[in-house]
């Protein structure tokens, strides 16, 4: 199931003609160039549109509700959310399906093209549909990320392997809990 908002060529042409971006016949190079600039402006509105910065999202309670899938503790949810709002090196992004927030990823930038994937949450009825993979891949591609790292437990190692991350065990980081470092390099 595809959740990102993309335009087909036909949809773009429909927009052009419906909005009267191209109204002249016969062919005129200046008009064509102007129309192409308008097309690019329209397409830019869809660029990354499936990932919305949740710092600007209107319903913080919905974001916090989704974060509750990671932690049951309201104080921790509020503290983590506050860190995203106040720290420019942190970005909290949401994925939507028909205006419903269905997933989020949180990242912390270490440099302009290197980051740590800190948080992932997908609504339970949307899990297993590739939303999280799509979010991560889209973010890496659109932001030209060279290196993404994450820390996880044994249950999620397969997910990261499937995305192309290399996996290294930290060993037993906490009593009885093995943790793993996952690294994705694009070069």
Token pair of 61 as six digits: 């309670």
Q: For residue range 40-97, what is the model confidence (pLDDT) as tens digits?
A: 444 433 334 468 899 888 888 899 888 888 887 889 888 999 999 999 999 999 999 8
Check residue 2 and give its pLDDT: 40
Share above pLDDT 70 across residues of the chain, in percent, rounded to a whole number: 73
Check residue 1 and give its pLDDT: 37
Q: For residue range 113-155, what is the model confidence (pLDDT) as tens digits?
A: 999 999 999 999 999 999 999 999 999 999 999 999 999 999 9
Q: Which CATH class is domain 51-185?
A: alpha beta
Angle among Cα 73, 170, 146 to the nearest 5 degrees reads 85
Q: In the chain, where are the structural domains located?
A: 9-46, 51-185
CA pseudo-torsion sign 91, 95, 101, 102: negative
Prior bond of 26 cis (ω within 30°)? yes
């Amino acid at each position: 199931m595809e959740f990102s908002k993309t335009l087909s060529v036909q949809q773009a042409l429909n927009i052009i003609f419906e909005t009267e971006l191209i109204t002249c016949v016969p062919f005129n190079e200046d008009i064509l160039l102007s129309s192409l600039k308008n097309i690019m402006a329209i397409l830019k509105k869809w660029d990354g549109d499936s990932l919305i910065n949740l710092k600007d999202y209107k319903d913080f309670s919905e974001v916090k509700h989704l974060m509750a899938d990671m932690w049951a503790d309201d104080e921790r949810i509020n503290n983590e959310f506050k860190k995203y709002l106040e720290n420019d090196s942190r970005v909290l992004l949401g994925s939507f399906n028909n205006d419903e927030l269905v997933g989020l990823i949180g990242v912390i930038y270490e440099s302009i093209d290197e980051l740590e994937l800190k948080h992932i949450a997908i609504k339970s009825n949307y899990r297993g549909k590739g939303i999280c993979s799509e979010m991560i891949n889209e973010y890496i591609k659109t932001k030209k990320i060279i290196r993404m790292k994450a820390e996880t437990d044994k249950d999620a190692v397969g997910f990261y392997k499937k995305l192309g991350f290399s996996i290294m065990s930290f060993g037993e980081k906490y009593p009885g809990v093995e943790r793993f470092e996952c690294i994705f390099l694009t070069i």
